[in-house]
Structure 1
């Protein structure tokens, strides 16, 4: 068992002024740490780079790299174990926090280079089993994100899905505007799709917004297009499932763990926009009974990703590192 009173955990995060799931999961871990009685700090390059788009959380103190570094040395001298968790870019860990227990939280396999020497002195966390498969380390440990049910929750099914329209949401991140444009071109240039059915479809692209705003927009839409790949996990698609918004698109790899084609969503091969157009059209052909089953299955899938499960995964990791 770990002694929570003798532990300090510092999350070393990059500057990011727009909403980013990679930063959000660190805030969630900090909230878990605080609830466990562990002293927790989140730090950014400077106080001006602290993001303001995050929904309020009961996290540890948020400060700058320099202040966190000074406090880490003071805490270590007083007898505390200091764990520093950063991203795949290890420069902040190695340049400012080299004298502490270092952890890399790998959230995307595309960022991982197993031959780099600068990972050898660090413990490894992965955001999904999919990412862990790419990590050539037997000690890599998975801590999955969880769905915040106070933010992402469904609208009443009967109110949402029986209207004679289909509002389709695409995030602008990672070329969302181009995906929207290409989908429209495919749908309206082919004679295999009924123009009458297509008139029901309205596409919307969403700028980077706060997670509360994102949750609100999800509840107003019928379909969420998961167009991003690769993805270490693909949290927006799972948040859509929690909001009763039907998911169509790419798993990006990480989404394979919860996106099940024909059971709780429609999955197509990553990057295949023609198949994506077909799946969107097939959605329009669904009867309400079949659609309700798919939506219920998706919502039930989201219920598996709880704060309690994430806490247990995280505790097992901490016990191995500092126990």
Structure 2
């Protein structure tokens, strides 16, 4: 189980959300992706057997790379998804705020039509580039070439991108989206704000951009964190759960 209420309701409406909660009450053994997802299950099914198998990182791909950018502006990477729960508009407002104080270059990963839509409806006063339909290899290079990764989701079942960024040696500014609590620690490997808190996110982004010692500490701690989330560990937990069921 890797869904969560905000995602289900956004995709399937109230009826789908009702079905989601009913499914959690079925007499199943569950394998899920995070402590938050486990909590959702147990709240609806207190006697359920639940095993956590976190998503993993391929550390052969998601690793620090040498940056080749000649741009002197700070590079902020953002993944745009086009749904409210992902907090796209929050991220864009944060970027506008920060650019007023420190000129930035934004690396958007997302559909070009979506970026054009936001450019027309919200307006960008910062320099940016767009990358669409990227492979994991390209994604890892984009993380590594960025000075900060900004992640503004309202909710996630786990939230893999910030962990991928950490594995690439990129500091993370993000929201407490619940699913990421299994790896994201405020002030240790990320700076974390409440969902929708534009001021706090803007302040945290500026801190990372302007404080080299903070950046270095977050990079080091992020790399150590990412090493704990391998696919081998995921498979081990998954196989353990299947053996216990049998």
Q: TM-score, normalised by structure 1?
A: 0.58
Task: Determine the C-alpha separation between the residues in 1 that align with 2:2 and 2:156.
Answer: 11
Deviation at 1:121, TM superposition (A): 4.8
CA contact (8 A) 1:107 1:127 kept: no
Structure-2 residue corresponding to 1:248? 173
Stretches of structure 1 that go unaligned for 5 or more consecutive residues are 1-104, 190-194
Confirm or deny that 1:318 pairs with 2:218.
no
- CA distance in 1 between partners of 2:23 and 2:35 (Å): 23
Q: 1:160 to 1:277 in 2, by over 3 A?
A: farther
Counterpart for residue 156 of structure 2: 231
SS in 2 for 1:311: helix
Q: What secondary structure does 1:232 align onto?
A: coil
| RMSD over equivalenced CA pairs, Å | 2.7
SS at match of 1:133: helix
Choose between structure 1 and 2 for higher RCO, CA contacts under 8 A separated by at least 6 residues: 2
Deviation at 1:214, TM superposition (A): 1.6
More helix by share: 2
Partner of 1:202: 105
Q: Is the 8 A contact 1:109 1:232 kept in 2?
A: no
- Distance change in 2, residues 1:109/1:315 (3 Å): farther
Equivalent runs, 1:126-137 vs 2, <5 Å: 126-136=32-42, 137=45
Q: Alpha-carbon deviations, 1:202-221, whole Å to 9, x = none? A: 12221153323222211221
Q: Match for residue 125 of structure 2?
A: none
2:114 alignment partner in structure 1: none
In the TM superposition, residue 119 of structure 1 has moved relative to its aligned partner by 5.5
Work out whether residues 109 and 131 of structure 1, in 8 Å CA contact, stay in contact via their aligned partners in 2.
no
Trace 1:298-309 onto structure 2 (pairs within 5 A): 298-309=222-233
- Aligned ranges 1:147-226 → 2 under 5 Å: 147-156=57-66, 164-173=72-81, 174=83, 178-187=89-98, 195=101, 198-199=102-103, 201-207=104-110, 209=133, 210-226=135-151
TM alignment of 1:264-275, pairs within 5 A:
264-275=189-200
| Residue of structure 2 in register with 1:290 after alignment | 214
Q: Are 2:95 and 1:146 equivalent residues in the alignment? A: no
Deviations 1:77-134 (A, max 9, x none): xxxxxxxxxxxxxxxxxxxxxxxxxxxx334354475751685154322110111011
Q: Whole-Å Cα distance in 1 between the matches of residues 24 and 50 of structure 2?
A: 15
- Tell me the alpha carbon deviations over residues 21-69 of structure 1, each in whole angstroms, 9 at most, x when there is no partner: xxxxxxxxxxxxxxxxxxxxxxxxxxxxxxxxxxxxxxxxxxxxxxxxx
- Deviation per residue, 1:146-205 (Å, 9 max, x gap): 11112211125xx689x853100111113565334312443356xxxxx4xx02x21222
Which piece of structure 1 moves more, 179-188 or 119-128?
179-188
User: Take 2:75 and 2:234, find their aligned partners in 1: how far apart are those partners?
Assistant: 33
Aligned length: 207
> Where in structure 2 are there 5+ consecutive unaligned residues?
9-16, 111-131
C-alpha distance in structure 2 between counterparts of 1:107 and 1:238, whole Å: 19
Distance apart, 1:284 and its partner CA: 2.2
